[in-house]
Structure formats: C-alpha cells, structure tokens
Chain A
Amino acid sequence: MENTNNVAAVKSKPQGNSKNTAAHIRLIIEKILVYVFLMLNVFICLFFFYILIVNSTMSKDELQGVFTGIPSTHFFDNLKSALNTADVDLPQATWNSFLVAALSAIVTTYFSALSAYAIHTYRFKGRKFIAGFILAIMMIPSQVSSLGFLKLCNQMGATNQLWVLIIPGVAAPAVYFYMLQYLQATLPLDLVEASRIDGSSEFRTFNRIVLPIMKPALAVQGIFSFVGSWNNLYMPALLLTDDDKKTLPVILANLSSKAHSQADAGQVWMTILIAIVPIVVVFLILSKQIIKGVTSGSVKG
C-alpha cells in the first residue's frame, strides 16, 4: 500500500519542487496521524495498569475518596495485608502456580520435541497416518473433554493434586506441530547419522545433539506454555478445592465473588498486582524472543 505512494513522490520530482514539497508535507501529516494512532493504542494498553499501580498504593479510606491519579504511600501496608490475610494463602497460591507452570513448560516442550523428533527422523510404518492424526486432533477444543477429565481425576482420586495439571502437557499437539516445523527447518538428518557413527544411542543423540539445536524453539514454546499455565483458570477452578492447592487464578476467582460482596478494595488491588507482576517482568525481559516466537509460529501455522 505504501510503496505506491513512494512512487508518486519519486515521479513528482522532475515535475518541479512545489509538488515535491506537497508530497513531503503530506507524508509528515500522515506520520503525525499514524503516531497519534499508535499512542492511542499505547494509552489503551497502559492506562488500566497505571490505575492498578496507583490504587495498590492507596489505603481503604483513600480509595473511598476522590480519585486523584497520584500514588499514595500505603503500598507496603496493602502488600502486608494481602500476604497475611487469613482466608487467602497468597504465598502458597503463588508457589503452586509457579510449580505447575514451570513443570508444565518443561514437560510440554521436552515431550513435544521428542514426538516431533520421532516423526521427523524415523521412517516407520504408519508414520504419515500418525502425523496426520496428531494434526487432526489439534483443533478439538480442550473444554470438550473437561467433563471426562474431571471424572477421570475423580476415578483416580487425583482432584486436588497438581500433577494432573502437568502430565497432560506430554500430549500437546500444537506445541508438537511447532517443534516439527522447527526440526524440518533446522535439523539435517546427516547430523543424526554422524552421531550414530560416533556410537551414540538414539536417546542420547536426541538429548545431547538435537535438544541443544532446538533451544530457540524450546525457549519460545516454554515461555508460552508457562504463561498459558500460569493464567489458566478453567480446569484448576474445577479441580482444586483444597485451599492449600489452589493456584492464583482460582484465588482471584474466589476473591472476585468476595469483591462482589464488597471486600477490602486495597487488598484486592494488591492481589491483582501480585498475580500479574511476575509474568510482566518475565515478558519484559524476554519480549524480543516472545514477539519473534509469535510471528514465526503463526506464519508456519
């Protein structure tokens, strides 16, 4: 779209300066409009977080008063009351969330890479069928199996156990698909062959040769898996009923029903802040890789 205007500008050059300046002015005006548009979207993204941060520094009474938009001094009071409140064990929930998210990320990326490696490297009977099958099951929404999953956990006596939220990550078709694409682009089969000549076992070849090559893909999918798990509300809310097993989103959901019946607002603001700050920090550190990951995965998918 823009290239054409560029030509118009170039073409106008020999016809005299006035047209050239006109095109130049037009470009400047367009640029101003574009930056205004960009800043508007920046505002939409950041405005609510600004209020969140401001309000987390306010005492209960200040929150009742007029909204000023200026931070107050009660940040640590709110932090203390959020962490020490009797009915919500926030440190425990944070730890549970971290445990589930970190282990999910490891399990999901490792086994998806292994499955993709199996399809990519070996020529076995039914390979094409299996590859097609995994693609086909990718589109089925996970909520469709939630009733059966709940029932299964009941049968196994595994409700209120965090591992049932981690192990299913072994079979993650979408992550597998990403890994397969990555392998096809980066892993020459000669390398596997060379490793065999060196006397390496197949399993060792995967762990020592292939996994290091896949590091960028593992990192990207690891981050996405961590974030997805950290933020997941639906299944954990159905499975985790014991207070000491709840994850952060479940705590927030409980807090929301409390908030609907007027809870300590300062504490609610602080809890929201605690739930999102770790992810935002991780995101800001890794944003370059994450953004790269979004674009690379989608073009292929």
Chain B
Amino acid sequence: MVHVATAQQPKKKKISYAKWGYIFLIPFFVVYLIFTLYPQLLTIGYSFTETYYDLDPIAGSHWEGPRFIGIENYITLFTPDANGEIRILKYLGNTMIMWVICALPQFIVSLLLAVIFTSNRLKIKGQPFFKTVFYMPNVIMASAFGLLFFELFGSVGPINKMLISMGWLKESYDFLGHEVSVRTLIGLLNYIMWFGNTTLVLMAGIQGIDDSVFESARIDGAGAFRTFFTITMPLLKPIFLYVFITSMIGGLQMFDVPQILTNGQGTPNKTSFTLVMYLNQMLGVKNYGISGAISVTLFFFTAILSIFVFKGITKDNKN
C-alpha cells in the first residue's frame, strides 16, 4: 500500500506522520499530569508535613502548617496508641480479614461454577440466565447495597423478623453490633457483588485452554479431580493470579460497604474499620499530614502484597 501510494503521489513521500502520535497523546498526558501525577506528588509532599485544620475554640479555627516535619507522621502512624494498638496495622488486619471472608468462598464457588459452565458433559442449560443473574449485583451501587443490608439486618429489620417468626431466634439479634456478624455481612455483600465477575473471568480462562490438552488427559485415563488439579489449575494459573491480585487490590481499597453499613464508624469498636475509611476520616477532619502518610502507606501495602503474591505463585509454578 505504502509503495503504491508513494508511486502515485510522489509529493506525499516526505510526509512523516510521527508527530500525530504525540499530538493525539497530548490530552492524555495533560490530564494525567494535572489530575493524577500532581495530586500524587502533592500527597507525598503533605505526608512529610504537619498540616491540619485547628478547631481552636479560643483562638478561632485556623489552618496549621504546612510545616516540614520529616517522617514524623509515619512514626506517629506506627506508634502504638494508649491501648497498645498500632491502629494502621489493626485496620490493615480488619481489611484483610474481611477480604478473605469474601474472597475464599468466592474463589472456590467461582472455580466450581466456571468448571460447571464449561463442562461438555453436563451441558448446563440456561447459561445466559445464570450469568446475567450472577453478574447483576456487580453493577449495583455498593453504597445502595450497604444501606440495603443495614435496613435488612437491623434489629427491627426483615431478617430478624423472619428468623423470629420461623422460630430460629427467640429475640432479635443485633447483627450490626457484633464483630463476627458485621465482618461476615461485609464479606457476604462483597461476595455477592464479585463472584459473578470472577466466574466469568475464570470461565474465559478455561475456554482459552487448548481442548487437545484435555483430550490427552482423557486418553491417559486421568480422573475428574486429577484433571482439574494437574491440568486445569496449572494452565489457569496466569488468569487465577490476575483474579487474585486484582481482587486483593480491590479488597485493600474496601470502603463503600463498611462505610455505609457502619455509618463510617467501623462498629463495633473499630473492628470493621478499613484503611480507606481511616484515610477518609482523616481527610474529613482535614488532617492532611496524616492523610498523606496513610495514602503513601496504603500504596506500599498494595505494592508489597502484590509483589509477594506474584512471587509466591510464580515460584510455586516452577517447582
């Protein structure tokens, strides 16, 4: 094509289109620099300062700082409080526990569903229906879902009434007042929102595996479980790794559901308080120094956990 073009129109031969590559990338980079990179640098910068809005009743409310204080904010974050707890690690722990409550059943069920849907033997009917229903919770507003659960599981909510009328409970149970039940509810809600998505992704992964591999396993007489653990899982590993890491990163950023369900309090006793809720709280009271340090710490937690998981799974693969 190029050849023909230059032959017919020799004048255009010298035209280089390379500059258009830069021109078309201008919007992306201008917006990236202003709305992403600059805020990121600003965040990192603030993490080394003392900056907060002082609600002084005598001198009047006013801004303090920014005053450069080195890594003092980070030291504050990792210093145990009066109860001997390092809060940010406690909230990291809360976040990870609630993620595991959601992710563990999610991975198992989604793997099962993906295998079931792709099975040549079972030939499941009504797949479009099942896929639509399973994926639907994912498009629903997490905050609406959170509020829905708040109303459902309240002490005068429908679930309590139902359990009492069925005789399973004598008096209403305070689902939102107990550590285990609040964490389980948050995990359950996240499970409902995400298992359909994970199923679809894993299904696509299984469909991407060459049929001939299954064929040779068949000829070798491998059983169902053996095929799953020696063929499907190893070949699915890259996709599973992708699912695992994106789910974990998403889990670390958990916010909407616990925020709405516990009204930003992480009840009871901050046991369902997540890292981003902590960040949100500090931004709310306009303590920008600590907020910056929390943001940077959150970034490092994310990066370290991702690398850890990635290394762990790929290493396992070699052995």
Contact = CB atoms under 8 A, between A and B. Distances in A.
A193 B2 contact: yes
B139 A118 contact: no
Given A294-B201, A295-B203, A259 B150 contact: yes
A149 B158 contact: no
B288 interface: yes
Interface residues of B, number: 117
A148 B43 contact: yes
Interface stretch (B54-62, B74-82, B85-93, B192-200): B192-200
A196 interface: yes
Contact of B201 (A202, A206, A295): A295
Contacts of A117: 24
Interface string B224-265: 111110001000000100100000010011011001100110
A88 interface: no
A135 interface: no
Nearest to A294: B200
Contacts, number: 328
B136 A202 contact: no
Given A122-B21, A230-B141, A2 B121 contact: yes
A279 interface: yes
Contact of B142 (A69, A144, A231, A265): A231
Interface stretch (B30-38, B96-104, B311-319): B30-38
Given A6-B121, A171-B29, A280 B139 contact: yes
State the 9 A-B residue pairs at the shortest beta-carbon distance, nearest first: A148-B39, A122-B21, A148-B42, A118-B24, A2-B119, A295-B204, A171-B32, A67-B161, A124-B21
Interface of B: 1-2, 5, 8-9, 12, 17-25, 27-32, 34-36, 38-43, 46, 109, 112-113, 115-116, 119-122, 124, 128, 130-137, 139-144, 146-152, 156, 158, 161-162, 165, 192, 195-197, 200-201, 203-205, 208, 214-215, 217-219, 221-228, 232, 239, 242, 249, 252-253, 255-256, 259-260, 263-264, 276, 279-280, 283-284, 288, 291-292, 295-296, 298-299, 302, 306
Interface of A: 1-7, 9, 27, 30-31, 34-35, 37-38, 41-42, 44-46, 48, 51-52, 55, 64, 66-67, 69, 111, 114-115, 117-119, 121-125, 127, 130, 134, 137, 139-141, 143-152, 167-168, 170-171, 176, 190, 193-194, 196-197, 202, 206, 227, 230-231, 233-234, 237-238, 248-249, 252-253, 255-257, 259-260, 265, 268-269, 272, 275-276, 279-280, 282-284, 287-288, 290-291, 294-296, 298-299, 301
16 contacts: A6-B218, A9-B121, A42-B134, A51-B158, A118-B21, A143-B253, A168-B31, A197-B9, A202-B20, A234-B255, A249-B144, A252-B141, A252-B147, A257-B264, A259-B151, A287-B136
